[in-house]
Amino acid sequence: MDELPLFPLRTVLFPGMLMPINVFERRYLEMIAACQAEGRAFGVVLIKEGPEVGGPAVPHRVGTSAHVIRAERNEDNSGLTIVVVGRERFVIRDILQKRPYLVGAVERFPLEGVDDPRVGQLVRRVKDDLRAYMGLLGRVSGTVIQVEQLPDEPDILAWVIGIALQVSSLERQELLECADLPRLLGRELQLLNLEQKLLQFMARTEDDQERWNTFPFTQRPPN
């Protein structure tokens, strides 16, 4: 079991995900300085209870180790803006309050079931659904979203989908906590399906609104 400094936030970090963090509290500036000096990671965990700034926060038990790849002082010298990349999942077995910030006694939490025979079929389905989802998301947001070649490694693909899904932090945490790959891919299929239906409804609503807007101001639309 390892000891890992913890940074509770109101967002979820997935393995392989890049995340900017604005660090301004003294305790976390101290934590980042120590991690950089020792060349070690810290853990990003979603807040379960409590504030993000100031008082103590209770984190969810599963998080992701974060490695700082860039750090810059803010212009007013009030703090740091760092960019981290997520590496490995961990589960918190105990909270150790040895420093001004939380330190967790953690264990690695690798995905099980990578070689499960169901994975191949699930991968084919999620790739198709992800492309359809991103196309709809681009249409509704008025942007062009290009889906580059998706990773062949099923576990990496699963985390890419988690990053891409525009869902709540609690739903993202649910994905992060999935113990095995088939369960993770299956849940992502459900979310992709639900989100596509929502985006399709939004797209139809925008199309309807556009048609109403074409009527001259002095006329009434037909009943």
Average pLDDT for residues 43-64, to the nearest whole number?
85
- Domains contained in the chain, number: 2
Q: Which pLDDT tens digit goes with each residue over 99-137?
A: 788 999 999 999 999 999 999 999 999 999 999 999 888
Proportion of the chain above pLDDT 70, given as a percent? 89
Total-model pTM: 0.86
Tokens of 146: 């290009």
Are the C-beta atoms of residues 57 and 8 closer than 8 Å to each other? yes
Domain membership of residue 73 (yes or no) is yes
Tokens of 204: 């139809």
Main-chain phi, psi angles of 140, to 5 degrees: -70, -35
Domain span at residue 83 reads 2-108
| Mean pLDDT across the chain | 88
Q: Which CATH number goes with the domain that contains 47?
A: 2.30.130.40
- Domain identity same for 131 and 203: yes
- Domain identity same for 64 and 97: yes
Tokens of 139: 């249409």
Residue 210 above 60 pLDDT?
Answer: no
Are the C-beta atoms of residues 46 and 186 closer than 8 Å to each other? no
User: Which of the listed residues 86, 108, 130 is the one where a domain comes to its end?
Assistant: 108
The string of DSSP letters for 152-165 reads SSHHHHHHHHHHH-
- Domain identity same for 101 and 138: no
pLDDT, residue 100, reads 86
The amino acid at 111: L
Closest-CA residue to 3 (of 60, 43, 59, 56): 43
- For residue 3, the SS3 value is strand
Which of the four pLDDT bands, split at 50, 70 and 90, describes residue 206?
low
Q: Which pLDDT tens digit goes with each residue over 137-192?
A: 888 877 777 777 899 899 999 999 999 999 999 999 999 999 999 999 999 999 99
Are the C-beta atoms of residues 158 and 185 closer than 8 Å to each other? yes
Q: Which pLDDT tens digit goes with each residue over 22-52?
A: 999 999 999 999 999 999 999 999 999 876 6
Q: How far is CA 126 from the centre of its chain?
A: 17
